């Protein structure tokens, strides 16, 4: 074979081999591609047929969400249908934590958009937001003006998860008036939320904090509804789908007459005082006054720390609910009840006279009467009308502290009155057992002497005094004071008295307090167009030696408290009242008389 032919043969062999190699590579590549696309088809088939429900549900979860519809809170009215607590539509910001991309950036952006919102309030809110559940929306406790709402709407794209919404805000149109009875709502805190049903409070960020707002929370709150909405990736609502409407809370009507309430509050402006006015037959509270008060609207969105500290440090203590939490020595206001117990238990005849020289000498101690020269010869009627201390000093030694305790307990002293408010103080109705239990000490007769005139350990609230005088007006029928209208007792108890004439004997003595020439409140009852029964009292703030008390020159905070209880008209009582004025030259008796005149002449027929 020539050299040329040999070279051509080798070249053709190489070409054949290369083509075969290329073809094999093509087949291999096609096989790989076939395997890849086969696997891809299998996966696609799985996703389409096997995993459809799961992934469709996930897709819908990103697009469809369920929001709670907060219920409309029930309104509060006075006895004449005057609105005391209402709901006002406002613009607020709703925060959906699961949609917020960066909390710190949102904080900075909002500071720029809402310059009137204090940094303190915004910081406190964002601190709450950081620890809150990401599935429960929170509302910024700040009401946006129309200008602020428009400004936010223009920049909402910068704040995913934060939405401008219209919301109903609690408002109290009478501001301070009756605040200690009505109370207020405020933001739900973590402690409260942990005790609530999450489903019942979904979409709700306020709850009753004090007063009837708290006591009747279950009536006022209502039940939330549900709204299914379609949202975009930034959490903005595109459209509303199906919904279950919320159930609004119930409106409630109180026994308070706001006209009488405001009349008393104006009368006592600038004073530290408490007044309770009731209808003695029903127990309805017509006025519930604790002065000074405060504006409950401050608490609805969350009060600033600065303002709250101002209220706490105010020496007049406006936050104290004096009606149920003010505990005062009842002083001489308990003398009619002690007198009734004495004559009912045959300790003394109501007609027996004793001589009062102005003091009682007992075991080397002289117990002084408020009238230094004494009252002379006095019987039970005189002792009540003139408030003779010495008479009750002697009476107490014959009665003993336990009889006094057992006789006054049914009138409401020393225990809850059952008013429809939380956190009522019970005062102290002392006894031997009480002192042994609380102080681990023996009771002394000298303590009985001062307890009989409402001093010493004895403490009562203005509401307890109002209940006691209502029972006296009813001649023993026990009524429970209450604030909710149409909440009258179905069954009333009666204080058992062997001789019903004893009621009239004591009530006659209380009439003489105002209508006799020597009664302690005679100058206030002199020209009354109706008969009123009452009793004056003084509560000592601290002890002084004999003859040292000078009201004009003593420090105001150390002056005695002035008390009065009473009811009118005597034969068919329409009003019962208790008044306490702290550390003031203003006496409680004229306050009570003027309130009674105003009510009977201006308001009684309407009520």
CATH number at residue 403: 3.40.710.10
> Do 248 and 268 belong together in one domain?
no
Question: Between vectors from CA 10 to CA 5 and to CA 12, what angle results, nearest 5°?
Answer: 95
CA 512 to mean position of chain CA atoms? 39
Q: Is residue 55 part of a domain?
A: no
> Do 229 and 284 belong together in one domain?
no
Residue that is last in its domain, among 203, 224, 253:
253
> Do 24 and 157 belong together in one domain?
no
Q: Is residue 525 part of a domain?
A: yes
- Strands 83-95, 138-139: parallel, antiparallel or unpaired by DSSP? antiparallel
Residue that is last in its domain, among 253, 277, 293:
253
CATH number at residue 208: 3.90.1310.10
Cβ proximity of 334 and 326 under 8 Å: no
Mean pLDDT of the chain: 88
> Do 161 and 222 belong together in one domain?
yes
- Strands 533-539, 561-568: parallel, antiparallel or unpaired by DSSP? antiparallel
Q: Is 235 helix (H, G, I), strand (E, B) or coil?
A: coil
> Do 183 and 35 belong together in one domain?
no
Whether the pLDDT of residue 546 is over 50: the answer is no
pLDDT, mean of residues 577-585: 93
> Do 385 and 405 belong together in one domain?
yes
Cβ-proximal residues to 148 (8 Å cutoff; 6+ apart), any chain:
91, 113, 114, 116
Q: Is residue 60 part of a domain?
A: no
Q: Is residue 517 part of a domain?
A: yes
Residue of higher predicted confidence among 56 and 143 = 143
Structure tokens at 258: 């706001």
Residues involved in catalysis = 332
249 confidence band (pLDDT: 50, 70, 90): very high
Q: Is residue 58 part of a domain?
A: no
Q: Is residue 371 part of a domain?
A: yes
Residue 595 has a pLDDT of: 98
Cβ proximity of 256 and 285 under 8 Å: yes
Q: Is residue 514 part of a domain?
A: yes
Structure tokens at 245: 């409407």
Residue 226 has a pLDDT of: 85
> Do 314 and 191 belong together in one domain?
no
Q: Is residue 340 part of a domain?
A: yes
Tell me which DSSP letter residue 248 carries. Answer: P
Overall domain count for the chain: 3
Among candidate residues 103, 135, 82, the one with its CA nearest the CA of residue 257: 82
> Do 292 and 394 belong together in one domain?
yes
> Do 501 and 526 belong together in one domain?
yes
> Do 409 and 555 belong together in one domain?
yes
Tell me: the pLDDT tens digits for 343-361? Answer: 999 999 999 999 999 999 9
Whether the pLDDT of residue 323 is over 70: the answer is yes
Tell me: the pLDDT tens digits for 154-205? Answer: 888 888 888 898 889 999 999 999 999 999 999 988 888 888 888 888 888 8
Structure tokens at 342: 């004495």
| Cβ burial, residue 394 (10 Å; 0-12/13-18/19+) | buried
Structural domain of 278: 258-603
> Do 241 and 314 belong together in one domain?
no
- Least confident interval from 96-105, 313-322, 431-440: 96-105
17-21, 446-450, 491-495: range with highest mean pLDDT: 446-450
Residue that is last in its domain, among 253, 282, 299:
253
> Do 91 and 228 belong together in one domain?
yes
Residue 18 has a pLDDT of: 62
């Amino acid at each position: 074979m020539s050299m040329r032919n040999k070279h051509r043969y080798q070249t053709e062999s190489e070409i054949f081999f290369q083509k075969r190699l290329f073809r094999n590579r093509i087949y291999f590549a096609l096989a790989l591609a076939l395997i890849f696309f086969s696997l891809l088809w299998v996966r696609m088939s799985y996703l389409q047929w096997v995993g459809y429900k799961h992934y469709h549900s996930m897709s819908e979860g990103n697009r469809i969400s369920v929001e709670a519809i907060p219920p409309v809170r029930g309104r509060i009215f006075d006895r004449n249908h005057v609105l005391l607590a209402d709901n006002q539509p406002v613009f607020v910001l709703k925060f959906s934590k699961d949609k917020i991309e960066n909390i710190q950036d949102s904080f900075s952006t909002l500071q720029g958009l809402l310059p009137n919102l204090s940094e303190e309030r915004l910081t406190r809110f964002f601190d709450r937001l950081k620890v809150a559940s990401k599935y429960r929306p929170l509302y910024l406790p700040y009401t946006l003006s129309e200008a602020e709402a428009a400004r936010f709407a223009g920049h909402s794209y910068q704040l995913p998860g934060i939405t401008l919404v219209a919301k109903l805000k609690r408002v109290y149109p009478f501001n301070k008036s009756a605040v200690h009875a009505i109370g207020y709502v405020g933001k739900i805190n973590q402690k409260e939320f942990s005790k609530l049903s999450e489903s019942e409070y979904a979409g709700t960020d306020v709850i009753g904090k004090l007063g009837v707002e708290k006591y009747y929370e279950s009536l006022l709150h209502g039940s939330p509804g549900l709204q299914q909405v379609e949202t975009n990736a930034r959490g903005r609502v595109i459209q509303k789908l199906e919904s279950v409407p919320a159930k609004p809370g119930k409106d409630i009507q109180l026994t308070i007459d706001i006209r009488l309430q405001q009349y008393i509050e104006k009368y006592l402006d600038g004073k530290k005082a408490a007044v309770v006015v009731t209808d003695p037959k029903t127990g309805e509270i017509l006025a519930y006054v604790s002065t000074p008060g405060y504006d409950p609207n401050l608490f609805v969105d969350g009060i600033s720390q600065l303002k709250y500290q101002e209220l706490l440090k105010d020496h007049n203590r406006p936050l104290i609910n004096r009606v149920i939490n003010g505990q005062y020595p009842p002083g001489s206001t308990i003398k009619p009840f002690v007198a009734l117990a004495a004559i009912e238990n045959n300790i003394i005849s109501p007609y027996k006279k004793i001589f009062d020289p102005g003091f009682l000498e007992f075991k080397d101690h002289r117990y002084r009467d408020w009238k230094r020269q004494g009252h002379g010869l006095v019987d039970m009627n005189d002792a009540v009308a003139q408030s003779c201390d010495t008479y009750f000093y002697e009476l107490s030694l014959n009665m003993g502290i336990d009889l006094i305790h057992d006789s006054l307990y049914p009138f409401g002293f020393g225990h809850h009155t059952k008013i429809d408010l939380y956190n009522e103080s019970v005062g102290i109705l002392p006894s031997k057992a009480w002192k042994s239990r609380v102080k681990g000490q023996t009771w002394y007769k000298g303590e009985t002497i001062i307890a009989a005139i409402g001093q010493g350990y004895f403490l009562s609230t203005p509401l307890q005094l109002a209940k006691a005088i209502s029972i006296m007006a009813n001649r023993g029928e026990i009524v429970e004071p209450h604030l909710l209208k149409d909440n009258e007792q179905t069954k009333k108890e009666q204080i058992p008295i062997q001789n019903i004439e004893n009621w009239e004997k004591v009530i006659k003595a209380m009439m003489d307090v105002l209508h006799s020439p020597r009664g302690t409140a005679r100058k206030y009852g002199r020209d009354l167009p109706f008969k009123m029964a009452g009793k004056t009292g003084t509560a000592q703030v601290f002890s002084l030696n004999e003859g040292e008390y000078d009201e004009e020159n003593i420090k105001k905070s150390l002056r005695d408290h002035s008390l009065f209880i009473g009811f009118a008209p005597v034969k068919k009582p329409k009003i019962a009242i208790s008044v306490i004025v702290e550390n003031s030259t203003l006496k409680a008796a004229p306050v009570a008389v003027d309130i009674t005149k105003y009510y009977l002449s201006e308001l009684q027929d309407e009520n």
